[in-house]
């Protein structure tokens, strides 16, 4: 994380070099592994801590870490419209997703939460296409659609199904939308600021508002939790809210963004697996079959090549007289 790191060289284009697609997928998968613990650990934490404290407090802790990293490496301040774009990132992944999912997971189990969150990769891909103009080939969309269906179907079967839309489902849907927007914008601005710098500046930007919400939560209800619940909160603050984005935004910055985003199709499978180990939720043969289908579709989508850009035929243009 030095100022000489190639991760911080301003660049509006993908960090393409030999082996870049493989590197982008590898970094993305590492980020997904870190994020896969978020839902089950949030479910544990809300057992003893106020959802507002979890959603806002973890952002405050992460902002302190981010401010220290930025100061130690003497990062230059973002410029002009970059602050507005960082506000979009902060609204999506620093405030929106953590707060909405924290409240939702007070009402539904972790496996149920994975049902809706499984839509995140497909939602992110759509936002990325709208935001960056990337145009994946048809095979990408086929695999992405099949993967989304497989992930949602698997999570619904594992979680006992969802017969109707509950308040928690609405919160999760809004959280997915907010997160997808934050992912897309964060991946794009990471090409200019660097992967860890992007999330760090977003955390710092959101810190005042998150600090106020944390104070409101503490005044309303004094935090009281077990050691395990505090450890879960620490993970959410340090890894889910900070370190995980180092890898995730790095992967998106290397790109192709729409393809790297599909690696997250594996997250519901991993989240339910951790829920089985940490929360005692039963893991059946459906986990193996559904997980295999989701990972296979994610691999197919990730390996699909982008459509080559159309290059105008300059030979057909006549020279001016």
Q: What is the pLDDT of residues 12-71, one digit of tens each?
A: 444 445 455 688 888 999 999 999 999 999 999 999 999 999 999 999 999 999 999 999
Instruction: Please state, in angstroms and rounded to a whole number, the distance separating the CA atoms of residues 287 and 31.
Output: 21
- The angle formed by the CA atoms of residues 275, 163 and 179, to the nearest 5 degrees, is 55
pTM assigned to the model = 0.79
Angle, to 10 degrees, between the axis of helix 97-104 and the axis of helix 110-117? 140
Pick left, alpha or beta for residue 160 (phi over 0 → left; psi -120 to 50 → alpha; otherwise beta).
Answer: left
pLDDT at 142: 86
Residue closest to 229 by CA, chosen among 36, 53, 31 = 53
> How many other CB atoms are found less than 10 A from the CB of residue 22?
11
CA dihedral 33, 34, 35, 41 (to 10 degrees): 110
Contact criterion met (CB below 8 Å) for 3 and 75 = yes
Q: 198: part of which helix (H) or strand (E)?
A: helix 195-220
Fill in the DSSP letter of residue 13: S
pLDDT at 155: 62
Instruction: Please state, in angstroms and rounded to a whole number, the distance separating the CA atoms of residues 286 and 75.
Output: 48
> How many other CB atoms are found less than 10 A from the CB of residue 231?
14
Integer angstrom CA distances of residue 106 from 46, 54, 136, 167: 6, 11, 38, 11
- Those residues whose C-beta lies under 8 Å from the C-beta of residue 131, and which sit 6 or more positions away, are 184, 185, 188
pLDDT at 302: 64
Residue closest to 110 by CA, chosen among 147, 297, 292, 118 = 118
Residue closest to 172 by CA, chosen among 183, 184, 180 = 180
pLDDT at 53: 96
Residue closest to 198 by CA, chosen among 242, 146, 154 = 242
N-to-C CA span, the chain: 55
pLDDT at 298: 73
Contact criterion met (CB below 8 Å) for 122 and 297 = no
- The distance of Cα 38 from the centroid of its chain, to the nearest Å, equals 10
pLDDT tens-place values along the chain, 321 residues long: 444 343 334 444 444 454 556 888 889 999 999 999 999 999 999 999 999 999 999 999 999 999 999 999 999 999 999 999 999 999 999 999 999 999 999 988 887 788 778 788 778 877 877 777 777 788 888 887 887 787 777 666 655 554 455 788 889 889 999 999 998 898 888 889 887 899 999 999 999 999 999 999 999 988 888 999 999 999 999 999 999 988 888 887 787 777 787 788 888 888 888 888 888 877 667 767 777 787 787 777 766 755 544 444 443 333 333
Instruction: Please state, in angstroms and rounded to a whole number, the distance separating the CA atoms of residues 190 and 98.
Output: 21
Residue closest to 108 by CA, chosen among 71, 61, 144, 160 = 160
Kindly tell me the sign of the dihedral angle through the C-alpha atoms of 246, 58, 291, 176: negative
> Coil, strand, or helix at residue 218?
helix
């Amino acid at each position: 994380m030095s100022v000489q790191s190639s991760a911080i060289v301003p660049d509006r284009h993908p960090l393409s070099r030999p082996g870049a697609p493989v590197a982008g997928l590898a970094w993305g998968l590492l980020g997904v592994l870190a994020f896969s613990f978020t839902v089950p650990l949030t479910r544990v934490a809300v057992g003893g801590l106020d959802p507002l404290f979890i959603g806002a407090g973890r952002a405050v802790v992460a902002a302190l870490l981010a401010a220290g990293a930025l100061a130690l490496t003497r990062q230059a301040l973002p410029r002009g419209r970059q602050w507005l774009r960082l506000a979009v990132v902060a609204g999506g992944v620093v405030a929106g997703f953590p707060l909405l999912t924290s409240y939702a997971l007070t009402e539904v189990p972790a496996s149920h939460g994975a049902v809706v969150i499984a839509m995140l990769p497909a939602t992110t891909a759509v936002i990325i296409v709208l935001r960056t103009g990337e145009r994946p080939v048809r095979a990408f969309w086929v695999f992405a659609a099949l993967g989304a269906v497989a992930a949602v179907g698997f999570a619904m079967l594992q979680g006992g199904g969802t017969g109707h839309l509950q308040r928690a489902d609405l919160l999760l849907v809004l959280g997915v939308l907010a997160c997808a927007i934050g992912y897309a914008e964060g991946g794009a601005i990471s090409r200019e600021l660097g992967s860890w710098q992007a999330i760090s500046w977003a955390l710092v930007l959101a810190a005042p508002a998150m600090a106020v919400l944390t104070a409101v939560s503490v005044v309303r209800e004094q935090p009281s939790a077990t050691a395990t619940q505090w450890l879960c909160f620490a993970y959410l603050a340090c890894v889910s809210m900070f370190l995980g984005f180092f890898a995730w935004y790095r992967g998106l910055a290397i790109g192709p963004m729409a393809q790297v985003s599909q690696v997250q199709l594996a997250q519901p499978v991993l989240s339910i697996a951790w829920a089985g180990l940490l929360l005692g939720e039963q893991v059946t043969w459906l986990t193996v079959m559904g997980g295999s289908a989701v990972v296979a579709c994610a691999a197919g989508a990730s390996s699909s090549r982008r459509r080559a850009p159309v290059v105008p035929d300059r030979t057909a243009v006549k020279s001016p007289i």
